[in-house]
Structure 1
């Protein structure tokens, strides 16, 4: 059992997340986090550099910054993620179909049960 005061101490810890690339480039911890993200993208071969098609709009990207915390409230690490601004696309113009190449755990369980 933990004291209620201990629970309140961990719940009331607030961190301010960065909201701009310019602010992140001024702090070495965020520059390091962005370099790690780019390294992982290249290592996993997540993207390919292609020529811009003149009749298609480019989907832009943005950086999302999060501070990961330990249970005691201390900083575990700074995490920077490069995400696509997919919300800028228009149905029927920029895309016709959407899908996510991710299997849900329920689906995997169903296939395993069916195979057994």
Structure 2
């Protein structure tokens, strides 16, 4: 419950969404929670994470959404980008 409340608080702080009246001619897209336990190297649960996600199988592109984004960048992706930029002599700003 604490992880779910923290996720909702982050939405409010980031102003990601706003509550609007439901249009009478539109279907509502369902949501669901995805839970994950983060563990340390010994396998002991350190933190519980919760993510609120839309049920994607009900969405239609250009009707329900126009763009997608990743909430966080993975450290491995950043390392690969920096290695490729160094190898190809790219300039990153």
Scaled by the length of structure 1, the TM-score of the pair is 0.55
Taking a change above 3 Å as real, the CA distance of residues 73 and 97 of structure 1, as seen in their structure-2 partners, is: closer
Alpha-carbon distance in 2 for matches of 1:114, 1:78: 35
**Match for 2:67 among 83, 88, 99?**
99
Give the match's secondary structure for 1:76: strand
More strand by share: 2
Taking a change above 3 Å as real, the CA distance of residues 113 and 67 of structure 1, as seen in their structure-2 partners, is: same
Give the C-alpha shift of residue 98 in structure 1: 4.1
Q: Which 4+ stretches in 1 moved above 6 angstroms?
A: none
Work out whether 1:76 is the aligned partner of 2:46.
yes
Gaps of 5+ in 2: 71-76
